[in-house]
Amino acid sequence: MKKRRLVMRTIILLILGAAVAYSLYANLTKDTKQKVAVGEKAPDFVLTDMDGNKHRLSDYRGQGVFLNFWGTWCPPCKKEMPYINNQYQQYKDKGVQVLSVDIQESELQVNQFAEHYKLEFPIMIDTDKEVMTAYGINPLPATFLIDKNGEVVKYHTGEMTEKMVREFMEKIKP
């Protein structure tokens, strides 16, 4: 009986050890490098906004683009959206555009969120995470500042204050 218990404990310990080893291996070997670096051309994409209008990033050449990736479930996203909207009102006529990309949520959720926060900039849904993958986004929220030539001038992940949003928009103003 004791020998059988010892064998079972040994097997369980080996399985747990293998799981820990695999987890360490998977985390240490995964590509954590940001796919789009500062100074590189921002990957072009086409997404449709909540009003049915198509937005191609390259169509905004000559203007600064504040490209924000977010989710309705994300607390920092909820806090920064009003700031982005306020600054959008200040900078939209100065050559700075906001393109807001929700990651894989339903139109109903995104529309309710936009109505609740009275957002006025274009909001698109990356339904298959294609744009998110192209930009190497992880975690949310993530923001790329793209200059008038289509180059990434800054990448920011995490919550932004209104002051930060203003400074970022000033940085990409043509």
pLDDT tens, 79-125? 999 999 999 999 999 999 999 999 999 999 999 999 999 999 999 99
| Closest by Cα among 125, 76, 131, 80 to 103 | 125
pLDDT tens, 25-74? 776 655 444 578 899 999 999 999 999 999 999 999 999 999 999 999 99
| Closest by Cα among 138, 47, 121 to 81 | 121
- Find the length of the chain: 174
pLDDT above 90 for 7: no
pLDDT above 70 for 143: yes
Residue 111 has which token pair? 């529309």
Sort strands 142-146 and 152-157 into parallel, antiparallel or unpaired: antiparallel
